[in-house]
């Protein structure tokens, strides 16, 4: 059996890993440090996906404060590292899906807006680091999602046409990146959609479990 996509590129938070509680805790510790009230995890879910600077910026804006982000980000990054391995969990089906795709000789990559230095320790902790041939973080290039440039960069690294590869994500940020790059996308229902209308998205598939991925047929880019 051959797979119709010669490369599968995964988002990380909300697609492979349920890390919302840890990201929320890091953000809340930062807010406490600068004299602001903690916010519910459900609120933080709506802010995850555009990178750490934008995450902190949205939290501060929601509190109605004017603050020097450059001064706050080092504090946030300390808490982010401290909370990175606090309680992350792989979503159901991730291990099996990755194993099935690798058994089909499909190279796998990660395209995340999480800072690149924090991705390998998280993958090692969760036992899936060896599954990925390439990992691109939110600070690996001058552009990050929702720009399509990271996806184009990954496709070029594998010497593949971008419209032949498959992106797998959960959010509006992922969807816009795939749209900008011209890469087909499969979306998961269980992640952090951040305003994405999953029922009307132009996607290869909208799935409830990553174990559905190995059975997908090829569909043109959105």
Strand pairing report for 108-111 and 134-136: parallel
Q: What is the 3-state secondary structure (H, E, C) of 36-76?
A: CCCCCHHHHHCCCCCCHHHHHHHHHHHCCCCCCHHHHHHHH
Q: What is the 3-state secondary structure (H, E, C) of 162-208?
A: HHHCEEEECCHHHHHHHHHHCCCEEEECCCCCCCCCCCCCCCCEEEC
11 annotated active-site: yes
Task: Find the helix or strand (DSSP H, E) in which 32 lies.
Answer: helix 20-33
Distance between CA atoms of residues 170 and 194, nearest Å: 9
Q: SS3 of 90, please?
A: strand
Kindly report whether the peptide bond that precedes residue 13 is cis, defined as omega within 30 degrees of 0: no
Distance between CA atoms of residues 185 and 170, nearest Å: 10
What residue has token string 């909300």? 14
- Which of 11, 13, 22, 50 is catalytic? The answer is 11
CB 122 within 8 A of CB 17: yes
Annotated catalytic sites, by residue? 11
């Amino acid at each position: 059996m051959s797979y119709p996509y010669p490369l599968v590129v995964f988002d990380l938070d909300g697609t492979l890993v349920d890390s919302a509680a840890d990201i929320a805790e890091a953000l809340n510790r930062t807010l406490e440090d600068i004299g602001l009230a903690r916010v519910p995890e459900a609120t933080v879910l709506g802010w995850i996906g555009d990178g750490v600077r934008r995450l902190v910026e949205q939290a501060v804006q929601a509190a109605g404060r004017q603050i020097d982000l450059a001064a706050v980000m080092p504090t946030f990054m300390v808490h982010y590292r401290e909370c990175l391995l606090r309680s992350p969990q792989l979503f159901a089906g991730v291990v099996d899906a990755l194993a099935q795709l690798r058994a089909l000789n499909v190279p796998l990559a990660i395209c995340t807006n999480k800072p690149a230095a924090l991705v390998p320790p998280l993958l090692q902790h969760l036992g899936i680091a060896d599954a990925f041939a390439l990992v691109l973080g939110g600070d690996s290039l001058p552009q990050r999602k929702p720009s399509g440039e990271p996806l184009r960069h990954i496709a070029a690294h594998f010497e593949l046409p971008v419209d032949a590869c498959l992106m797998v994500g959960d959010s509006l940020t992922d969807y816009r990146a795939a749209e900008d790059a011209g890469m087909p996308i499969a979306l998961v229902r269980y992640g952090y959609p951040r305003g994405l209308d999953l029922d009307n998205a132009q996607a290869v598939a909208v799935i409830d479990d990553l174990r559905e991925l190995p059975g997908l047929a090829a569909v043109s880019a959105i």
